[in-house]
Amino acid sequence: MTDAAACWNRLEELPMKTLKALFAADANRVDRFTDSLALPGGNVLFDWSKTHLSSDLITAFEALAQAAGFAGAREVMLTGGIANPTEGRAAEHTAQRGMGADESVALADAFHMRMRGLVEAIHEGLLGPVKHLIHIGIGGSALGPALAVDALARPTAEFRAPVDVHVVSNIDGNALEAAFEVCDPATTMIAVASKTFTTIETMTNAASAIQWLEEAGVSDAYGRVVALTASPDKAVEWGVDETRVLPFSESVGGRYSLWSSIGFPVAMALGWDGFAQFLEGAAAVDRHFADTEGFANLPLRAAFADLMYVQLRGCQTRAGFAYDERLALFPDYLQQLEMESNGKSVTADGKPLGRNSAPITWGGVGTDAQHAVFQLLHQGTIEVPVDFIAVKQPGHDLDPAHHAILLTNCFAQGAALMAGAESVDGARAYPGNRPSATILCDALTPATLGALIAFHEHRTFANAVLLGINPFDQFGVELGKKIANEIAAGEGEGFDPSTEALLAAAGLKR
Ligand SMILES: O=P(O)(O)OC[C@H]1O[C@](O)(CO)[C@@H](O)[C@@H]1O
């Protein structure tokens, strides 16, 4: 039996107390389970006290982390070693924020300077008037930019973004048409964001954007395109001017690429200083993650709780609710980060995992979700660990009552999930003992958003290491793409009768 297997056996044997009992037994539980990270843009508080972690479980999870080689795996990732063994490469997103192999950090800095030059030239009007940016990409090339722009570039009394950013991902032409509808071709730039510069949705949308510009009489449509890619040669071959190609390294994974030139729309909307603060917020979490051991390490602590719920309590999902409209896209971002990273069935060396891996990540925005899905969280038969994310300072100038009600509801939900309520009438009884964790930011700034995202990247990594899986590949998305390509090319052996009938019904008979 491996050391890790023995640790899992130990974990499975440990009794688990109710949340009420855990609080009753430890007057300092809130202090022990709550920590604050100080960031230039305001503190971020992490409260994991309303989870079922106990001292015994923490000790056993710390032993598991040791047996699974957590410190070594972290060192490999943070120094540019081969953290992604199935693809034989490093995972160098932290190098974009200053932590990694010297040459990778230097290269990331050089790419950032190139991006900064272009962003500032556009802001200074050197490329003609630019009022809109249509950012075309999908998955990791779209979800991060969409989240960051929506969170940080909303107009306020003090701020208006110099350029309106419209993120388009879906191949469904309705998505691109909606962007065309609100953009003037004479003042619009197109960012084509694709690590590989081959993704069919992105390349098809990019071609249609060129056509839209040309049909509107723009003389040099390709001159309006900026490419954000790890395949610069392909971008040039496609028609992008070499000076408008913003490269990033192959070793930056797609869903971890927001920090690279994929963040171009964020810098366009916020200005370079804002983007630099975003990187700095993430870098502060990197330093915490690199330098803190055991339970005190916040992403590792969160991973202990995540694994406790999936492995020891049989939970199959985890929900995240952003109690802030500006973070409405955060659950979508997390879905890709966690499910594409850790939705695996084999270990890093290809052996069957033998246990569940990532739960299904889902969620929504508060308070809307309370009136839609919280019924199941409070009284359903399936336990769902919940994360709440809230921000102390509102992002609007309306009556402060709005924000007070928002935050009060957020904290009330966590309290109700834990406390429950008895009733002689079964329909009105709440079992309680339902877990939640809360992240509270002082303010939503570029630095705090960067920190929030980096925290979740490292939480995802910590989960993977403790399970023994590789979070940096995504072979699971390939088969569907291959079949779609075969259908489009009229190739393939013939599919199952249901698929053949659907193709025929849609007029796509080969
Ligand atoms: O940036 P690209 O190469 O267009 O890929 C987009 C997305 O597609 C995926 O490869 C999955 O299909 C993601 O991992 C990636 O973020």
Q: What CATH number has the domain bearing residue 45?
A: 3.40.50.10490
Peptide bond into 367 cis (omega under 30): yes
Residue 41: pLDDT band with limits 50, 70, 90 = confident
1 domain-assigned: no
Q: Which atom of ligand 1 is nearest to the CA of 143?
A: 16
Quick check: 493 pLDDT over 80? no
The CA distance from 157 to 152, in Å, is 14
The alpha carbon of 137 and the centre of ligand 1 are apart by a number of angstroms equal to: 8
| Domain match, 307 and 409 both | yes
Weakest mean pLDDT among 2-6, 78-82, 117-121, 465-469: 2-6
Give the closest residue (by CA) to ligand 1 atom 14. Answer: 254
167 domain-assigned: yes
Residue 384: pLDDT band with limits 50, 70, 90 = very high
| Domain match, 494 and 380 both | no
111 domain-assigned: yes
Mutate to test the pocket of ligand 1, among 168, 196, 229, 260 (most ligand atoms within 8 A of CB): 196
Pocket of ligand 1 (CB under 6 A): 138-141, 194-196, 199, 202, 254-255, 340, 474, 477
| Domain match, 244 and 310 both | no
Which of 276, 292, 326 is at the close of a domain? 276
510 domain-assigned: no
Which of 253, 276, 299 is at the close of a domain? 276
| Domain match, 114 and 243 both | yes
Residue 490: pLDDT band with limits 50, 70, 90 = confident
Whole-prediction pTM: 0.97
The confidence score (pLDDT) of residue 1 equals: 54
Calculate what percentage of the chain has a pLDDT beyond 90.
94
2 domain-assigned: no
| Domain match, 466 and 481 both | no
CA angle 307, 42, 105 (to 5 degrees): 70
Domain count, the chain: 3
Q: What tokens were used for 281?
A: 């917020």
The CA distance from 132 to 186, in Å, is 10
Distances 96 to 93, 195, 249, 262, 361 between C-alpha atoms, Å? 5, 15, 10, 11, 26
Instruction: Tell me what the mean pLDDT of segment 377-405 comes to.
Output: 97
| Domain match, 252 and 388 both | no
Quick check: 310 pLDDT over 90? yes
| Domain match, 260 and 351 both | no
| Domain match, 201 and 301 both | no
Closest CA to 460 of 375, 291, 337, 317: 337
* Residue 488 lies in domain: 476-505
Quick check: 506 pLDDT over 80? yes
| Domain match, 128 and 264 both | yes
Residue 510: pLDDT band with limits 50, 70, 90 = low
| Domain match, 54 and 144 both | no
Q: What tokens were used for 204?
A: 């098809």
Quick check: 2 pLDDT over 70? no
Mutate to test the pocket of ligand 1, among 473, 477, 478 (most ligand atoms within 8 A of CB): 477
- Continuous segment of H or E residues that includes residue 287: helix 272-291
The alpha carbon of 139 and the centre of ligand 1 are apart by a number of angstroms equal to: 5
Which of 249, 276, 303 is at the close of a domain? 276
Amino acid at 19: L
| Domain match, 139 and 70 both | no
Residue 481 is a catalytic residue: yes
| Domain match, 217 and 360 both | no
- Mean pLDDT rounded to a whole number for the chain: 96
Residue 340 is a catalytic residue: yes
Instruction: Tell me what the mean pLDDT of segment 429-444 comes to.
Output: 97
101 domain-assigned: yes
Active-site residue (options: 371, 422, 478, 493):
371
435 domain-assigned: yes
SS3 at position 430 = strand
Residue 52 is a catalytic residue: no
The CA distance from 144 to 275, in Å, is 13
The confidence score (pLDDT) of residue 109 equals: 98
